[in-house]
A = this chain, B = another copy of it.
Amino acid sequence: MTIFLIGLGLGDPKDVTVKGLEIIKKCERVYLESYTSILGCPKEELEAFYGRPLIIAERDLVEQGADDILEGADTTDIALLVVGDPFGATTHTDFILRAKEKGIPFKVIHNASIMNAVGCCGLQLYNYGETISIPYWDDSWKPDSFYDKIKQNRQHKMHTLCLLDIKVKEPTLESLMKKKREYMPPRFMSVAEASTQLLAIAKNRNEPEVLNENTLCVGLARVGHDDQTIKVCTLKEMAESDLGGPLHSMVIPSMHLHALEVDYLQLFSENKIEV
């Protein structure tokens, strides 16, 4: 039979495609992958909408336990549901390779992901360079290698999509020693936190032509949800902004914007955008 990887889009149960919904309804087992992104709604709401029970697939299950998910897929249909699009995370590429090794046919049902929905801020998708991920800093670990990618994109007139860190099911340091894992509450980096870290790096690197307090940036919150929020302002202002609940993403636009891009960004800015 077949293993289906089904993209759920950006959070609302009704963002699944009609084709995806039909497949979910007929699959023997339906897994919901719970870590590469977060759902905009509780599991129960999805179950009610699909009319099917969902098995939560934690990180371990998808990464090490592909065997469990794939078990019986030679005789029955199984679905793995993924927030966004199934090819948004390397985990799924790996998962498909393992299905292939076992000779199990797979089919992917695509959907919107932040990688294309970020177009909603009006910056042309064609002009994005490499995407970066901004991780949470802690006292001893303050990585900043992504700065060089922002620099490179800006030097070559490209926008930079910044994906912000998600900490879900992180074991507490204490519980690592114990048999029973205990987890920290989930954390989702806000555009304000990301901007604060970027400003610290900018200060350290001291290349104001790359990034400085007045660099224009775009904060996006809950893209594709009814309460989607976009704000365009300087990096310093963004560090003091509250865009509400998760997920947040950020864009550092190219310094060379098309007139239409400026007009569109202007919708989300309190001040006149100077380029």
> Given known contacts A126-B130, A130-B127, is B110 in contact with A110 (CB within 8 Å)?
no
Q: Is the CB of B93 within 8 A of A10?
A: no
Chain B residues with Cβ below 8 Å from A47 are none
Chain B residues with Cβ below 8 Å from A94 are 260
Tell me whether A97 is interfacial, beta carbon within 8 Å. Answer: yes
Q: Is the CB of B130 within 8 A of A156?
A: yes
CA distance A194 to B112 in the complex (A): 27
Tell me whether A19 is interfacial, beta carbon within 8 Å. Answer: yes
> Given known contacts A93-B264, A260-B94, is B120 in contact with A108 (CB within 8 Å)?
yes
Q: How far does the Cβ of A210 sit from chain B's closest Cβ, in whole Å?
A: 15
Q: Is the CB of B88 within 8 A of A119?
A: yes
Q: Is the CB of A260 within 8 A of B158?
A: no
> Given known contacts A116-B113, A224-B110, A260-B90, is B7 in contact with A12 (CB within 8 Å)?
no
Tell me whether A253 is interfacial, beta carbon within 8 Å. Answer: no
| Total residues of chain A contacting the partner, CB 8 A | 53
> Given known contacts A17-B18, A21-B18, A116-B115, is B260 in contact with A125 (CB within 8 Å)?
no
8 Å CB contacts to B: which residues of A12-40? Answer: 12-19, 21-22
Q: Is the CB of B15 within 8 A of A18?
A: yes
8 Å CB contacts to B: which residues of A179-210? Answer: none
Q: Is the CB of A128 within 8 A of B125?
A: no
Q: Is the CB of A129 within 8 A of B112?
A: no
Chain B residues with Cβ below 8 Å from A113 are 112, 116
Q: How far does the Cβ of A134 sit from chain B's closest Cβ, in whole Å?
A: 13
Q: Is the CB of A267 within 8 A of B156?
A: no
Tell me whether A100 is interfacial, beta carbon within 8 Å. Answer: yes
CA distance A88 to B9 in the complex (A): 16
Chain B residues with Cβ below 8 Å from A111 are 9, 17, 111-112
6 CB-based A-B contacts, threshold 8 Å: A17-B18, A87-B117, A87-B120, A90-B260, A97-B267, A113-B116
Q: Which 5 A-B pairs have the closest CB atoms?
A: A87-B119, A110-B112, A14-B19, A126-B131, A116-B116
If A7-B112, A97-B264, A125-B131 are given as contacts, then 18 extra A-B residue pairs at C-beta distance below 8 Å, sorted by A number, are: A9-B17, A9-B111, A10-B110, A13-B18, A14-B18, A15-B19, A18-B18, A18-B21, A85-B112, A85-B116, A85-B117, A85-B119, A93-B264, A112-B112, A115-B119, A127-B130, A130-B156, A152-B156
